[in-house]
Structure 1
Amino acid sequence: METSAADADWFSQRHRALAATVSEFFRGNPAVVERALLCMYAEGHLLLDDVPGVGKTSLARAIAQSVSGTVRRVQFTADLLPSDVTGVRIWDAASRTFEFHQGPVFANVALVDEINRASPKTQSALLEVMEERQVTVDSTTYRVPRPFMVIATQNPVEHGGTYELPEAQIDRFMIRTTVGYPDHAAEVAILAAGTRGAQPEDLQPVLAETDLLRMTEIVRGVHLSPEMYDYIVMIVADTRRYPDQIRLGVSPRGGLSLARAAQARAAATGRPFVTPDDVKALAPVVLGHRIIMRHDARLDGLTGTDVLARITASVRIPDAYAIHR
C-alpha cells in the first residue's frame, strides 16, 4: 500500500522521538544515529567500523534499548562455532526427540561485537539469516522474528587475530559507517555520564514493536517514481565504468539497498516520496563498501566514497526534480 502524507508525518514524529532518545546516551555524531535508524526502518543490517572506544557497541545497545523487542548480544571470538550463532538441535531423553535451541540471532536486534574476530566458517553462519531472515539447521528451516536487524562492529586497525570479512558478507550490510571521535562538548558530556554510571539499559523504550513494524511497512510504501529508479540505476551502473580504478562495481543488491534506504530517509523527513537528495545523501554509506578498488587506485589514496562523490556529481538529476532545486 502506498504511503500517504499522514503516514509520513506519523513516521517522522516517531523518528524524531527515537533519535532524541538514542542521542541522550550516544553523543557527538547525530549523522551516525540517523544512518543507523534509517537502516533499521529499511530492514537492513548495519556495520559500525571504527577504532576501539568511540562508542560502537554503546550506539548499538542504545538503539536496541529504545525499541521494545528482544535483543541478544554475541561476542565473536576465534573459538566461536556456527551453532553458537544460529542454534543447535539437542537430544531430549525425556521426549526422545531432538529439540532446537535458538541461537542469539533469534531476536529483533542481534548485536554482533567484533565480527571480524570469528573464523570465516562462523562468519558465514550469518549469511543466510541476514539475507533470508531464516536459519537452516539439519535441513530444517527456522524463521527469525520480525523486525530483524544485525548490528555488527569491527575494528579496522587491529589485525592480529582477525579474519577479513568476505565480500559476500560485506555486501549484506545495507549501511557501513564509521563513528568518529566526538567534539569537545560531546566528550565532556560522555565523561560526565560515564562517571555517573549511565548505561544504555537506563533508556526507556519509545517505540513499541508494533510501531516499528508499522514503520517498516510505511517505508515499503514510500513512492519511487520511474525517474528515480532510472537515477539510482545510473549511479550504480557508473560504478562499473572505471575499469582502470575499480575492480568490482556495485551489484543490483546494492541498488536495491540504496532505494530502500532512500525510502526510509524520505519517510523520516515527513515525505511520502523519494527525491534525488535522499539518494545522494545515502549513496556513500550504502554503496561505498561495495566498491572494490584496484591496487594502483588504493595506492593513490582513492576510495569507493571518492568515486561515488564524483559519480553523484556527474549523473544527471531527472528533469522532474531538477526544476525544483
Structure 2
Amino acid sequence: MPTGYSRIPAGEAAPVDFAAAFQSLVDNVELVLRGKTEVVSLALTCLFAGGHLLIEDVPGLGKTSLARCIAASLDASCHRIQFTPDLLPSDVTGVTVYRQGSNKFTFHPGPVFAHVVVADEVNRASPKTQSALLEVMEEGRVTVDGEPHPVPWPFFVVATQNPVDMDGTYALPEAQLDRFLMRIGMGYPDRAAEVAILRTRQSGLRVEDLSPVLSTAEMASLIATTTQIHVSDTLHEYVVDVVAATRSLARLRLGASPRGSIALLRAAQVRAAAAGRTFVTPDDVKALAVPVLAHRLIPTADSELRGYGGSDAIREVLAAVPVPQALAGAGA
C-alpha cells in the first residue's frame, strides 16, 4: 500500500471545493511550467492519492522544475536531494550523534523530513542509498539505530531520472519502482508552448515567484475527501480484471501486484474528484492505467528486444478486457 493510505485522517468536509482547489494548483504550476496541463494534472493526482511520483525523461524538459513548482504551490516544507554516487543513506535519512555534554544520543533528521522531497537524478546514487528511501516511501517513517522517526504528513516524494545518459547510474530495482504510485514523462512542448516558455523566461517569472495556494491542513483534508469518492462493486471487479490480465500476458515476465490495483483505484478516485464527480468511472481507470501500472511490469527478454514495453502491455490489456455492461454507460 503506497505511503499515506493508512495515515489519512477520518473524512471531514474540505474547507474548499476539491475540483476548484485542484484546478487552482494546476493553474499556479502552469504560471511557470507552460503547455504541460496533462503532466501537471497527473502529478497532482499522484499527490492527492497519497503516493509518490517518478518523472523520467531526457534533460531540459522541466522534470525538476515540475517538482519545485508543486512544492512552491503548497505551503509546506520542501527539501531537494541531489543524488550522486557518493551520497550515503545517512545523508538522506539523518544520523544519531552522541552529545558529550548531555551524555545522550541526539537524532539529527536528514532532508527526507519534509512534506515534499525532491529526489533529483535518483538513479545516480548507489543501490544502498536508493534503499534508504524504501521504508520512508512505504511506511512514512525512517528507522535509525533501531528508533523509528515519522516524517511529516502529507508526505510526497518526487524523484527524477534521466533514461538516456546511463553512465554512472544504477537502475532502480523492481521493489523500489513499485513504491512509486506513478511514473510519467514530460515530453517535448509543442511550438506554441515553447514560445510561451521563452516569453516566461524573458519576463523573469521563476519558481521562487510562485505563491502557495494550499496549506498542509487543507491538503490533508482534501486527500481525505478523495477516499470518500464512491466506487461500485462492479468497478472494483473491473480494476482487478485489468490488473490480473497483466499477469497472464505471454510477453510479460512479471505482471502487476495487488499494490498496483490499490494504486490504480486511489488515483481513479482523485481523478473523479478533480472532475467534480462523486463516483469513479471506467474512463478514470483507463486514463490512469499506463502511468500507474506500466512501470510495475517486466517484459520478457525477447519482448524487450522487440521494443515491447509496459505501456504497450497496458494498452493491450485495456483493449482486451471488456468494460462490464453495468458500467458501459458511465463516461468520464
Q: TM-score interval w.r.t. the shorter chain?
A: over 0.9
Identity across aligned pairs (percent)?
Answer: 53
Please list every run of 5 or more consecutive structure 1 residues that lacks an aligned counterpart in the other structure. Answer: none
**Corresponding residue for 1:112?**
119
Distance 1:78 1:290 in 2: 25
Measured against aligned partners, the alpha-carbon deviations of 1:142-200 in whole angstroms (never above 9, x if no partner) come to 00110000000000000111001000010000000000111112112212222343321
**Corresponding residue for 2:79?**
72
3-state secondary structure, aligned to 1:99: strand
* 1:222 equivalenced with 2:221 (yes/no): no
CA distance 1:201–1:184, change in 2 (3 Å): same
Measured against aligned partners, the alpha-carbon deviations of 1:27-84 in whole angstroms (never above 9, x if no partner) come to 1221100000000001100000001111000010000000111001110000000000
Please list every run of 5 or more consecutive structure 2 residues that lacks an aligned counterpart in the other structure. Answer: 1-8
1:95 CA drift (Å): 1.4
* 1:61 equivalenced with 2:89 (yes/no): no
Q: For residues 160-309 of structure 1, what are the structure 2 equivalents within 5 Å?
A: 160-243=167-250, 245-309=251-315
Q: Please tell me the residue identity of whatever aligns with 1:265.
A: R
Distance 1:266 1:196 in 2: 36
3-state secondary structure, aligned to 1:27: coil
RMSD (CA atoms): 1.7
Query: In 2, are the aligned partners of 1:8 and 1:268 still within 8 Å (CA)?
Result: no
Distance 1:81 1:323 in 2: 53
Distance 2:11 2:104 in 1: 47
Q: For residues 38-187 of structure 1, what are the structure 2 equivalents within 5 Å?
A: 38-187=45-194
Greater fraction helix: 1
Query: In 2, are the aligned partners of 1:49 and 1:154 still within 8 Å (CA)?
Result: yes
TM-score normalised by structure 1 residue count: 0.96
Distance 1:324 1:133 in 2: 36
Query: In 1, are the aligned partners of 2:141 and 2:149 still within 8 Å (CA)?
Result: yes
Query: In 2, are the aligned partners of 1:240 and 1:249 still within 8 Å (CA)?
Result: yes
Instruction: Say how many residue pairs are matched.
Output: 323
Query: In 1, are the aligned partners of 2:14 and 2:221 still within 8 Å (CA)?
Result: no
Query: In 1, are the aligned partners of 2:281 and 2:330 still within 8 Å (CA)?
Result: no
Distance 2:154 2:330 in 1: 36
CA distance 1:204–1:7, change in 2 (3 Å): closer
3-state secondary structure, aligned to 2:81: strand
1:9 CA drift (Å): 8.3
3-state secondary structure, aligned to 1:152: strand
CA distance 1:321–1:3, change in 2 (3 Å): farther
Query: In 1, are the aligned partners of 2:57 and 2:185 still within 8 Å (CA)?
Result: yes
Distance 2:143 2:181 in 1: 23
Q: Please tell me the residue identity of whatever aligns with 2:91.
A: D
